[in-house]
Structures are given as structure tokens and as C-alpha cells.
Structure 1
Amino acid sequence: MSQVSLPKSLHPDLPLTALAPMQDVTNLWFMKVIAHYGSPDYFFTEYFRVNDTSRLNRNILAAITENDTGRPVFAQMIGESIPDLVRTAKELCNYNIAGVDLNMGCPAPRIYRKNVGGGLLREPEKVDRILGELRSAVNDRPFTVKMRVGFENTDNFYSILDTINRHSIDLLSLHGRTVKDMYHGAVKYDLIAEAVRRVDCPVLANGNIHSATKALEVLSQTGAAGVMVGRWAIANPWIFNQIRQALRGEPIARVPLVEVRNYIDRLWQTPNSATMPVRSRVGYLKMFLNYIALLVDAEGDFLRLMRHTSTEVELLNLCDRFLLAEGTKTLALAPYSGL
């Protein structure tokens, strides 16, 4: 089975950029918001859960069927039942997807305990069977994998990379931490560089790419075909444009905090916000502000006070206080250390 060509990137002369799939974040609305500030080359959906009774989740499907960003969208699946993964992959291929992506990296304990997501990295033989069957099922469009460098160590890393080659995977997104590392500790970019040398497909480097400057460092250190950005695109939706500016050697555009305040409003106006209970809406916005705050205020006051707010009015007034007070202040180009 030979590889399939990937969708065209926005700028064929530059390395690829992708927005990482994040559960409860990368829905249709967030993709539209990101596109407003500067799309990545590729989007990936939240994962479709796959088991013997699963059906395609309508909300996740909307990120494919109602997507007007103009960018390719890969449909991600999570599961371990081979017949059901094959069935779901075939169903997804009836839609306008850029390709099918298999999640082998999710570090949430409730996920890996079911031997799905990052839990699969403990079973190289199972990975071999899953990739073989899915490659046969997805033969007319890209079949891609997102994974980490291991479960609690990197013992299976090279054998899984060889499996990826054997089944002609079209793109590998590699987070340079183990599943047990979650989002802590140093990212092993040296192992991403090893993967780049070892596999035949393009590799997207993933893990703590917090700024355009960091993206350039990681690209030069790993030789990866591109970068995949997750949490730091929540903090800074301008990051994909900034990465392109940095790659071209242009100065990176600074973002005034008043623009950040507009971004928060845009997030707030999610289509179902009117029907969400107030507590859920406040919680939803705080999820984003947890990241945004790390680029707004070096002292950490905004983060601390934001977490203590309990009503919409309180929360939005606090945003006004920190983001509209000084007209000249801009979003930091990298996270403040120590926060």
C-alpha cells in the first residue's frame, strides 16, 4: 500500500502548521475563530469515540460538514476495536475530510485505562494490527497518526515507528513527551528528530510550541516537516501568522491587548452560548483564559483573580481592567516564566 499525497498547504514554500486536536476545544466554532486570526495549514477534529455502539458525533461532524474556513480538516478517531475503527473510518470517508487520523497519544487517565489513545503505546502488536487494517480501509486519502514518544518510557518507540513505515502512514504528529508526562517536563525534541530520520512520512513536531521563535527552534532542531500547536494557539490565536512571519524572516507582529479583549468576546459568542447555563459559560471562558492569562500579565494577578470570579459580569469586567487599561500594552510573544 503506497502513501497518499497530503492536501495542499497554504504556503507550499514554508513548513506545515497544524492546530492540534483538543477535546472540548477544537470544535467548529474554535476553528472559525482561529481562521479569523490566521489559519494553520491543517485542522484536526476532536476525537470521535469508537466502540461497538458508537455513531458519529453530530457536533464533531459539524466541524467537517459546516466548515467554511477553507482549510483541510482531518477527522480524528479514538478506540481500540478494530472492526469498529474500520467501520467508522469508512463512514468518515463519506464526508469531505482531508484524511483519517488515529489518536495514539491522549494522556487522560480515564482514556488510557481503556487501552485507547496513549494506552495503545503499551501494545505494539495491537498497534500493528490496527494500522494495517485502517490503512487498507483508508486507501484513497491520507491516513495519519498522532502519538507520543511512549507510555511511561520510550521502550516501544522505535518498533512503533517501524510499524508506521510498514503501513505507509501519510503523516505523523509526534508529541515529544510520554503519556505519563502529560503536559509536564521537558519535551524530547531529540526523539522527534530521531523519528524524522526514521520514518518515510512527514512529521509534525508537537509539544510546548509556545511562540513563533520556539517553532523555528524546534523546526531547526528536529528537521520536522512542520509544527502542530495546541494549548498555545488558545493563548494566542495569532500564532500561525506569527510563525509564518518568523519563517520568512519578517518581524513578528505584536498584538495589542485590546485585540485580545476582542478575541475573548469572539470566544464568548459561541453559537450555543445563549442556551448554556451561566456557570457553564463562565467555566467555558475560564478554560481559555487559563492560557491567555500566561501571555497577558507577568505578575500572575490576572490569572489568580480570573480564577476567583464567579459571574459573567465579574469576569468580563476583570478582562476590561487588565486588557483595556493600557492602550499600548501588547500580548507577550512567549509565556511569562514562573506562572
Structure 2
Amino acid sequence: MLDGKEPILALAPMQDVTDLPFMKVISSYGSADVYYTEYFRVHGSSNLEKWILESITKNPTGQPVIAQMIGNDIPSLVRSAKELQQYPIVAVDLNLGCPAPIVYRKCAGGGLLREPKRVDSILGALRDAISVKFTVKTRIGFDSTGVFDELLPIFAKHSIDLLTVHGRTVQEMYRSEVHYDFIARAAQAVSCPVLANGNVYSAKKAEEVLQFTGARGLMIGRGVIRNPWLFHQIRHHRRGEPIFIPKGHDVLQYIRTLYDAVRPPDIRELAQVQKMKKYLNYVGLGVEPTGQFLHQIRRATSEVEFFKICEDYLNHDRLMPLEPFSLGLKETDVMAGEHL
């Protein structure tokens, strides 16, 4: 994959989203080239979470899986990396980008970007412990981009095999425009392949980001929740082939498929409806521009009510590009508290 000519298309690691059922759904609509797990929480007394391991051991996609870790304790990270390599993964990834306050306040995820020397030590220890590919997902700084020039030589020093750059700082969360120029700088500065991450929501946008950054590929998260055909569309666009645009009833069927796929056994109806709102927060941004669909969905309390609202807006044959009507305040509100 790293040596191929076509851009690498990766499904982003999204906490409480990219589990086994979601991976299976996405693989049926136009699979990613590689899937990342939710992050394994690593600390002194941690064990590998069984439900995340299932996305590795029961991987239904036919594509490789990368296991992501988050933490800051070197012995624990080394221990977990060695344990993960006993499973069928192609790489171990270190999360240096999670912007959730509950994470960065513990100096994990994006919080580590405040301490480049500590990042240096962690990467050195992990590089020695990892015999499969070793990858890193990062943002471009914590509260400013000034540290990025310090981080790039550290990434290069430890010969990581793949670097994913989300083009925002940790404190920008998802509020700002993506600073694609910093991704382009990374692609020039390190010898390993770079994946561009952040606000890729259409095949056209994907091509623009690839051309501007010179990245080896794309990591996409929220855009694929909204539009599971996106990887498929990007490949067709690059080949100059007609792009499939779903109609309303296609989107409705996707929601039905997702509802059934992510429903745990014995879950209460209300809890399942609440769970689905997490996904519909993203899908809804591409349904209609007024916010009424999301307003109604967020107030649904039963399966019948939930699907009645979906049918009211989606049971039609009109084309739906599923590009977000707003990339501003509404999407920022949706992102609050998410680890994407």
C-alpha cells in the first residue's frame, strides 16, 4: 500500500465510532484501504480493551487494520505495543492529536504536543519496541503552531513509517479552517508518507487537498460518517468515472443498515435511539440546511419516531450529495466532546 501509486484512503480512528460494526458497514459501501481502531487507553494498570480488540481479531473488511494507542507512560506504552503485535495488525499508531479536554489535561493525546522532549522519548522507546510499521497521528500544535517545526525533526529522527497530520491545533478543536499548508510542510520535511486529515467532505475536496499538500493519502472520519460512499466517490473521481450520488432513499437505507449493525444485544430502545443520534449529528448536516432535521432527530425517543423523521426527510428520489450545508457553528457544536 505504501509503495502504490494511488492515494491511501484511511478511515480515521474515532472513539466510540470506529468499532467492529461500523467498520463492517463502511466496508460494504466503498471500503477504506486501511482501518484504524479506536484508541487503546494505556496506563500503568491498563489492559487491552476487549471490544476494541474485536475490530482486529474479527476484522470483516478484508483490509488491514492499524491499532492506535493513547497514553504517556513509556513502560506501559511499550508493554501494550508488544501485546498488540501478537494480533493481526499491520502497524501500531500513537495518538498525539486527541483534542478532548479529559484527555489532554492528563498530558495524553494532543496534550503531549506541549512537551516535544517527552514526545521524543516516547517515540524512541516505541520505535525500538515495534517490529511492524510504526505510525503517528498528530495535530500541528497545542495552542499554537510554533512547536510544529520542533516536532517535524523528532518525527523524522525516529524513522516512523507513516505520519498523519490533522491541520489544526488542539485548542482549535474543529472550529477553525484546516491549515493545509502545515500538512504540505510535513510532506516536504519527513521522508515517510504523510496522510492529510481534516474536513475532507467530497471527492472534489479530496483532490484539492491531495494536490495542495502533496500528501500520500487522506485520512477521513466525519465525512465518511455522513457519506459512506465517499471513499468510492474519491476513487471514481480520480479515474474520471461518473461519481455515484446517493438519493434520499439510499441515505435512508444507510441509516437503517447502521441502526441494525450497531445495535448491541438486549439494548433498550431509548438507549439505541440515543446512540444513533451520535451518527445522525453528522449525517444531518448534509440532509437539509435549516437544522430542522437535526432538531427533530435530537428529540426522538422511540424507534418509530426516529424513523418517521428520517422518512419525512429522506424517503424520496432526489440526489443528495451529502456535503455539509454548514462547516461553521453547527458542525462545531456537533463536535463538542467528540474524540474525532
Give TM-score, length-normalised by structure 1: 0.94
Aligned-partner Cα distance in 2 for 1:152–1:248: 40
Checking the alignment, whether the CA contact within 8 Å between 1:234 and 1:288 is kept in structure 2 is yes
Secondary structure at the counterpart of residue 182 of structure 1: coil
2:324 counterpart of 1:332 = no
State whether structure 2 residue 286 is matched by structure 1 residue 286.
no
Match of 2:41 among 24, 49, 58: 49
The one of 16, 22, 33 equivalent to 2:14 is 22
What is the root-mean-square deviation of aligned Cα atoms in Å?
1.3
Contact kept? 1:89, 1:138, Cα under 8 Å: yes
Following superposition, the deviation at residue 245 of structure 1 comes to: 1.0
Measure, in 1, the Cα distance between the counterparts of 2:186 and 2:152: 7
- Return the match for 2:249 from 230, 242, 258: 258
Q: Which amino acid aligns with 1:319?
A: C
Report what 1:184 is aligned to: 175
Q: Which residue of 2 aligns with 1:149?
A: 140
CA distance in 1, matches of 2:69, 2:320: 34
Q: 1:74 aligns with which of 48, 66, 73?
A: 66
Distance 1:38 1:15 in 2: 15
Deviation string 1:256-302 (CA, Å, 9 cap, x unpaired) is 11111111111111364332222321111111111111111233321
SS at match of 2:174: coil
1:121 positional shift: 0.3
| 2:225 pairs with 1:213 | no
Distance across 2 between alignment mates of 1:334 and 1:94: 40
Would you say the 8 A contact 2:19–2:37 is kept in 1? yes
Amino acid at match of 2:265: A
CA distance 1:333–1:282, shift in 2 (3 Å): closer
Which structure 2 residue ranges, 5 or more long, are not aligned? 331-340
Cα separation, 1, equivalents of 2:292 and 2:321: 15
Structure 1 SS opposite 2:107: coil
- Among 292, 297, 300, the alignment partner of 1:309 is 300
Q: Is contact 1:20–1:228 with CA below 8 Å preserved after alignment?
A: yes
Separation in 1, partners of 2:59, 2:270: 28
Equivalences, count: 328
Query: Which stretch of the first structure deviates more once superposed, 242-251 or 26-35?
Result: 242-251
How far apart, in 2, do the equivalents of 1:67 and 1:215 lie? Answer: 26
1:238 alignment counterpart: 229
Q: Contact conserved, 2:283 with 2:322, CA < 8 A, in 1?
A: no
Among 111, 132, 135, the residue aligned to 2:103: 111
After superposition, what is the alpha-carbon deviation per residue over 1:9-61, rounded to whole angstroms, capped at 9, x for unaligned?
A: 8xx33111000000000001100000000111110000000001000100000
Distance in 2 separating the partners of 1:107 and 1:8? 28
- Superposed counterparts of 1:95-174, under 5 Å: 95-139=87-131, 141-174=132-165
Give me the whole-angstrom Cα distance separating, in 1, the residues matched to 2:106 and 2:65: 27
Is the 2:251–2:314 contact (alpha carbons within 8 Å) kept by the matching residues of 1? Answer: yes
Q: Deviations over 1:45-84 (max 9, x none)?
A: 0000000100010000000000121100000000000000
Q: Please report how far the alpha carbon of residue 211 of structure 1 lies from its aligned counterpart in structure 2 after TM superposition.
A: 1.0
- C-alpha separation in 2, matches of 1:329 and 1:299: 18
SS in 2 for 1:62: helix
SS of the equivalent of 1:253 reads coil
Aligned to 1:4: none
Cα displacement (A) at 1:333: 4.6
Separation (CA, whole Å) in 2 of partners of 1:121 and 1:136? 21
2: CA distance, partners of 1:257 / 1:89: 44
Distance 1:315 1:278 in 2: 11
Alignment counterpart, residue 83 of structure 1, candidates 71, 75, 83: 75
Question: Equivalent residue of 1:269, what SS?
Answer: helix
For 2:261, what is the secondary structure of its paired residue? coil
Q: Which residue in the other structure is 2:266 paired with?
A: 275
Q: Output the CA distance in 2 between the equivalents of 1:39 and 1:257.
A: 21
SS at match of 1:135: helix
Alpha-carbon distance between aligned partners in 2 of 1:22 and 1:246, rounded to the nearest angstrom? 26
SS in 1 for 2:251: helix
**Contact 2:203-2:237 at 8 Å conserved across structures:** yes
Question: 1:308 Cα shift?
Answer: 2.0
- Unaligned residue ranges in structure 1 (runs of 5+): 1-6
**Alignment deviations for residues 181-207 of structure 1 (CA, whole Å, 9 cap, x no partner):** 111111000010011000111000001
Name the amino acid aligned to 1:20: A
Could you list the runs of 4 or more consecutive aligned residues of structure 1 that deviate by over 6 angstroms after TM superposition?
none
Distance in 2 between the 1:215 and 1:295 partners?
17
The 1-side partners of 2:178 and 2:224 are apart by: 18
